[in-house]
Chains A and B, each alone.
Chain A
């Protein structure tokens, strides 16, 4: 049985705002290694990973000898295709996120629990909800963009050993 998590209050957290398909989202600033443009993205088919059916991973990105799997956030959130222009490169995992735009960094002091009425994939997508200037903004769970098993499958397709931190994980 799920236990109700109290809303987290008090500690302030810096988040980066970004948009996808007209929706605004927030991601913990300390989960993001770099925010960049879409230059350098390589279609995944060209990277030799086409046979693996993880449609939300549309591109790969090579940075400093590490390969990142680029998750199309619109597909991840089951939205219509959108005009992606910015990439959030994440820390600790070989994952980057394709977004429409990035906005400013803000601080939140309260993370509201996602209401229990929401029972679908969004329970994994979001850590909770924040209220920013009266607007409700979901704070994403960055670990949900690409699970460890999906990462392993993709690494295998690129012939990257699952334990090869040099090539597949940002260091």
Chain B
């Protein structure tokens, strides 16, 4: 039986026709559509940068990793914190639409899912994969 103490806060975000989840403590805000700026680079999953409040923020195209290389990036941005050793950096993740904050009880992933899917959430008939950003990026960097 699920109890309140099993529940954790997640930010649910749409990508294409699916929704994914991030642990809420890694998310700082949802940003309105902004101008994506690009320059040449070789980093997988990086789509470019945004300028927000005079600061430059990298933009991650998570759709490519989560949905496949043909997936198109979204127009909204979820701002999440990434860790680099002892340091943190805000990164914008492009998402397809509005996000939702939800308290749900995660269950362990089943079947053959990528390592960056650390759990599953169930809402009615919908199953939502919980994404570990650090593992997602390390998987892509190694690829």
Contact = CB atoms under 8 A, between A and B. Distances in A.
Contacts, number: 64
Given A116-B89, A117-B82, A129-B56, A122 B37 contact: no
A131 B56 contact: yes
Interface stretch (A46-54, A56-64, A134-142): A134-142
Main secondary structure of the interface of B (DSSP, over half): strand
B139 to A, nearest CB: 13
Q: How many of chain A's residues touch chain B, expressed as a range?
A: 20 to 34
B89 A118 contact: no
B40 A122 contact: yes
Interface string B21-61: 00000000000000001111111001001010011111010
- B interface residue count range (under 10 / 10 to 19 / 20 to 34 / 35 or more): 20 to 34
Identify whether the interface residues of A are mostly helix, strand, loop, or mixed: loop
B69 to A, nearest CB: 17
Nearest to B50: A136
B94 interface: no
Interface of B: 37-43, 46, 49, 51, 54-58, 60, 82, 84-85, 87, 89, 91, 137, 141
